[in-house]
A and B are shown apart, each in its own frame.
Chain A
Amino acid sequence: SLTKRVVPAAAQHDKVPRPVGFVPLPPPCPGKILHFDI
């Protein structure tokens, strides 16, 4: 006889969960300002 397996509730986020401590990379350009912006 077939029994239906219990499937855990879908993860809250349908996206791939982000690893802990994920920091988005800064955009490659423009670079940082070394003195001041005018």
Chain B
Amino acid sequence: VPAAPPAPLGCDDPESVAAAEFAVNYINGHSHHGYKFALNRIKDIRVIPQGPNNDIMFLELDLLETTCPILSPTPLENCTVRSFAEHAVEGDCDVKLQKVDGTLSVLASKCHSHADSREDILKVCPDCPLLAILNNTEVLGVVSAALNDYNSKTTDSYLRLLEIGRAKIQYHPVHAVVTEFAVGATNCSAEQAKANVGACQLLPEDQSNFGFCTATMVKRPSQDLQVDCQLYGHQVPAPPIPLLSRVSQPTGQDTS
């Protein structure tokens, strides 16, 4: 009597979790924008046997944005998932993997990320500041002022803006703009940049030194700007395959 087909894999089975973690590491390792994402839930898994010890696996994953920028060397397990009140961002990913003799590889991946709905946040936290769209003029102004302020005070290399990661604007109890943005070191010192900033270019890939800044500008009742930038030091970059888009609009984006 032919052997009964194996029971379908459950989404919480160890084999499914291992495949999902492999997929999430692949997505984070091949994206160059925004933040690292962590696994929140395996929505579905389908396994299609191709032959002995050879399966194609289709995974549907729910991910959540963490507070670690994508270029940060911090291991994913040490990255905090952004809380609901911080205006969480969710990633929905469909991943196709192959498992041959127990070795996994990603064949394709398509992800869509979107911020949680503003109504949901305000329902739970009426005063929580919400994500602003990244080309908001107030946001652009604060990022520019913050980077200029940092470069005017640093004795290290002149930093250039890579991308704005996220920004929030709050109106009470004070009117403040909170921004996070990725930066890259250039081939100039801050002093040289004063003379000829046009000559300051990001360091070539084999010397690249990326970092991350947070800046808060309080506008009312009094003007105050706080900037903090951390450089990671040189890291060997993974091949760029943009898989998980940034939420540059609270409505999200598709990438594959």
- A residues whose Cβ falls under 8 Å from a Cβ of B: 26, 28-38
Contacts and interface: CB of A to CB of B under 8 A. Distances in A.
Tell me the dominant secondary structure on chain A's binding face: loop
A29 B11 contact: yes
Given A34-B41, A37-B41, A38-B84, 5 more contacts: A28-B11, A29-B45, A30-B41, A32-B12, A38-B90
Interface of B: 8-13, 16-17, 38-45, 62, 64, 81, 84, 88, 90, 116, 120
B88 A31 contact: no
A31 B40 CA distance: 9
Contact of A32 (B41, B64, B116): B41
A38 B63 CA distance: 10
A36 B9 CA distance: 23
Contacts of B88: 36, 38
Contacts of A38: 64, 84, 88, 90, 116, 120
Contact of A31 (B10, B64, B81, B90): B10
Contacts of A37: 40-41
B40 A35 contact: yes
A36 B121 CA distance: 13
A34 B41 CA distance: 6
A34 B39 CA distance: 7
Contacts of B43: 29-31
19 contacts: A26-B10, A28-B8, A28-B13, A29-B45, A30-B11, A30-B43, A31-B16, A31-B41, A32-B12, A33-B40, A34-B38, A34-B39, A34-B41, A35-B38, A35-B64, A35-B81, A37-B40, A38-B116, A38-B120
